[in-house]
Amino acid sequence: MTDKEIIENQVLELRRGVTTYALLHILSSEQYGYSLQMTLSQLGLEVEQGTLYPLLRRLEQQGLLSSNWRVEEGRPRRYYQINDAGRELLQKLVDEWARLNAIISKFN
Amino acid sequence: MKYIELYVKSVGRKLPQSMREDIEAELRSTLMDMLDDRAKDTGRLVDEELEQELLREYGSPDEVAAKYLPEQQLISPKLYPIFWMIIKIVLTVLAITTIVSIGVQIGQMGGNVPGAATVVGDAFLGLIQSGIQAFGTVVLVFIIITRFGKVEKDWKSEWNPRDLLKIRDEDKIKPAELIAAIIFSTIGIVIFNFYPDLISLYHNVTGTIEVYPLLTDAFFGYLLWLNILWILEIIQNALLLKDGVYTRGSRIFEIALNIANIALLLVIISGPSIVQLPVTWMQEFAGMSSETASLVQNQFITGIRTVLGLVSAIVLIETAVKGYKLFRR
């Protein structure tokens, strides 16, 4: 593994946790996968499609998201939304983020 | 949308049936949305070229499908060091036994060079075959341990540093003894399964070595059970090496294995003899009459049964002591 790859992997690890946090926040209102990616992208958080959908699937399997299929613009789309268990997790993540942020800010 | 459809199906084929339909539908819908957006953003028409461009960026079907699948391990990483140690022991024992077997067979030929070359070639092919077979068996055993054995301990259960003081000297393993036991069990499996002719009497008759097998057909009737016990012993010793200490569970397993060994020994002792002193060998090369040869044969078999009986008694006493100590604790 080259130095560049090591750095990229570390950055990716850091972003991975943040992605779940952001997803749960955004999915307070219903969104389908592609619109979710667009929202993330507009916020400046680029997530590959190939990573986003498996992540959504995992979160749903863990009981943190609910989903349903609807046909819109003649196209079937799967809409995701946070559920009660997801909201509980999100609150914990918000608290933890604030705590970590307070610690990290001391380094700067 | 020819390429998108082909792409979606290609990803789907790499996924389990249970999740295939759902993922295919979502992937198809997303790719179509992306294609429409790309056409709008670039002012191009939706055509095959644009489809290909999008799919190239999205990633190969293998890569995309892999992200949906959980990471699975056939063999737990915690078992890897022990796994490789056993593989090295098994393959080394196989290689050494093959070399010995080649030596013995060439010795029997009395300088027949073309014949010797055939023996070496056959032995080499046999080594590859038995090597693959042995490797497969070890892999299978470790897959079973990973799947059904409790490899991951319950780390969350309460742990007390004082527990370290409770590890008695008698519970500490002796790695050299365990490794030696693994080597001997492996030698047993390799020799009795692949090279049983090595357990023979050899006699040089005018430059050619005659072979008189010592093992009887009765022995090969017990071989399956012996193999099972040897493999279980290897597993037990491998797990002890991993844990570094005897636990209640490993003690119970050891006692159960000893009882199984005693039971098999008793069956062997009470059945037809598993070894023989070839009567023809005694007559031709030791100059015995048929009556004397027969008498020596009977004494030999009685001797072997006595030895096996003594071994059973020793293992029984040892097991009883271990069982008593375990019960007391």
pLDDT tens for each residue of B193-211: 888 888 888 777 666 677 8
**CB of B246 within 8 A of CB of B169?**
no
Nearest CA in chain A to B64: A50
Q: What is the pLDDT of residues B156-183, one digit of tens each?
A: 566 677 766 766 777 778 888 888 999 9
Decide if B21 touches A, using CB distance below 8 A. no
**Angle of helix A3-26 versus helix A33-43 axis, rounded to 10:** 110
Complex ipTM tops 0.85:
no
Sheet bearing A65-72, strands edge to edge: A31-32, A75-82, A65-72
Confidence class for position A9, pLDDT limits 50, 70, 90: confident
Any B CB within 8 A of A107 CB:
no
- Say yes or no for a CB contact (<8 Å) between A57 and B29: no
- What mean pLDDT, rounded, does chain A reach? 90
Report pLDDT digits (tens) over A87-100: 999 999 999 999 99
Q: Which of B14, B60, B67, B68 to mutate to test the interface with A (most CBs of A within 10 A)?
A: B67
Backbone φ and ψ of B154, nearest 5°:
-80, 85
The pLDDT of residue A39: 93
Give me the long-range contacts of A27-30 (CB less than 8 A, separation at least 24): A27/A65, A27/A80, A27/A81, A27/A82, A27/A86, A28/A81, A28/A82, A29/A81, A30/A79, A30/A80, A30/A81
Asked if B46 reaches chain A (Cβ–Cβ under 8 Å), the answer is no
**Which of A51, A55, A75 to mutate against chain B (most B CBs within 10 Å)?**
A75
pLDDT digits (tens, 9 = 90+) for A13-33: 888 888 999 999 999 999 999
Whole-model pTM: value is 0.62
CB contact under 8 A, A69 and B25: yes
A53 to B32: CB separation less than 8 angstroms, yes or no: no
**Cα–Cα distance, B149 to B143 (Å, whole number):** 9
pLDDT tens digit at each of 329 positions of chain B: 789 999 999 999 999 998 899 999 999 999 999 999 999 988 888 888 999 999 998 889 999 998 888 777 888 888 888 899 889 988 998 899 888 888 877 777 666 667 778 888 888 888 898 889 889 988 998 888 888 776 555 555 666 777 667 667 777 788 888 889 999 998 999 889 888 888 888 777 666 677 888 899 999 999 999 999 999 999 889 888 887 888 888 889 999 999 999 999 999 999 999 998 888 888 877 778 888 888 888 899 999 999 999 999 999 999 999 888 888 76
Question: What does DSSP assign to residue B200?
Answer: E
